[in-house]
Amino acid sequence: MKAAPVLIAAFVVLFIAEGKRPLRKRKQLRLKQAVINSLVSLPAFSLLRFLLLPVLVKLAMKSKQLQFGLNYQYNAQPVIKTIVAFLMLDYTNYIWHILNHKIPLLWRFHLVHHCDPDLDVTTALRFHFGEIIGSVFYRGAFVFLSGATPLNVLLYEVFFETATQFHHSNWKLPYPIEKALNKIFVTPRMHGIHHSIVRQEADSNYAVIFSFWDRLHNTARLNINQHLIVTGVPSYNNFDELTIGYLLRLPFTKIHPWEKVNDGKDISTSLQDKNSLAE
Ligand SMILES: [Zn+2]
Distance (Å, rounded) from C-alpha 134 to C-alpha 218? 26
Span from the CA of 110 to the centroid of ligand 1 (angstroms)? 7
Span from the CA of 126 to the centroid of ligand 1 (angstroms)? 12
Helix axes 150-168, 78-102, angle to 10 degrees: 50
Q: Are 229 and 192 in contact (CB under 8 A)?
A: yes
CA 218 to chain centre: 18
From residue 51, alpha-carbon distances to 6, 136, 137, 241 in Å are 21, 8, 11, 31
Q: Which strand (E) or helix (H) includes residue 34?
A: helix 30-47
Span from the CA of 99 to the centroid of ligand 1 (angstroms)? 9
Span from the CA of 100 to the centroid of ligand 1 (angstroms)? 7
Which amino acid is it at 7? L
Query: 171: which strand partners?
Result: 22
Span from the CA of 97 to the centroid of ligand 1 (angstroms)? 6
Span from the CA of 194 to the centroid of ligand 1 (angstroms)? 7
Which amino acid is it at 41? S
Span from the CA of 96 to the centroid of ligand 1 (angstroms)? 10
Contacts of 125 (CB under 8 A, 6+ apart): 37, 38, 40, 41, 45
Span from the CA of 202 to the centroid of ligand 1 (angstroms)? 7
Query: 192: which strand partners?
Result: none
Residue by residue, pLDDT tens for the chain (279 residues) are 578 899 999 999 999 999 999 999 999 999 999 999 999 999 999 999 999 999 999 999 999 999 999 999 999 999 999 999 999 999 999 999 999 999 999 999 999 999 999 999 999 999 999 999 999 999 999 999 999 999 999 999 999 999 999 999 999 999 999 999 999 999 999 999 999 999 999 999 999 999 999 999 999 999 999 999 999 999 999 988 999 999 999 999 999 999 877 655 555 445 567 888 888
Span from the CA of 244 to the centroid of ligand 1 (angstroms)? 20
Span from the CA of 242 to the centroid of ligand 1 (angstroms)? 18
Span from the CA of 85 to the centroid of ligand 1 (angstroms)? 23
**Tell me, what's the pLDDT at 12?**
97
- End-to-end alpha-carbon separation of the chain, Å? 38
Residues in the chain: 279
Span from the CA of 191 to the centroid of ligand 1 (angstroms)? 9
Q: Are 120 and 16 in contact (CB under 8 A)?
A: no
Span from the CA of 231 to the centroid of ligand 1 (angstroms)? 12
Span from the CA of 219 to the centroid of ligand 1 (angstroms)? 13
Span from the CA of 75 to the centroid of ligand 1 (angstroms)? 36
Which amino acid is it at 122? T
Angle among Cα 243, 102, 33 to the nearest 5 degrees reads 20
Distance (Å, rounded) from C-alpha 182 to C-alpha 176? 10
Span from the CA of 67 to the centroid of ligand 1 (angstroms)? 34
Span from the CA of 113 to the centroid of ligand 1 (angstroms)? 7
**Tell me, what's the pLDDT at 1?**
58
Span from the CA of 101 to the centroid of ligand 1 (angstroms)? 6
From residue 223, alpha-carbon distances to 179, 226, 261, 263 in Å are 11, 9, 18, 16
Distance (Å, rounded) from C-alpha 191 to C-alpha 243? 24
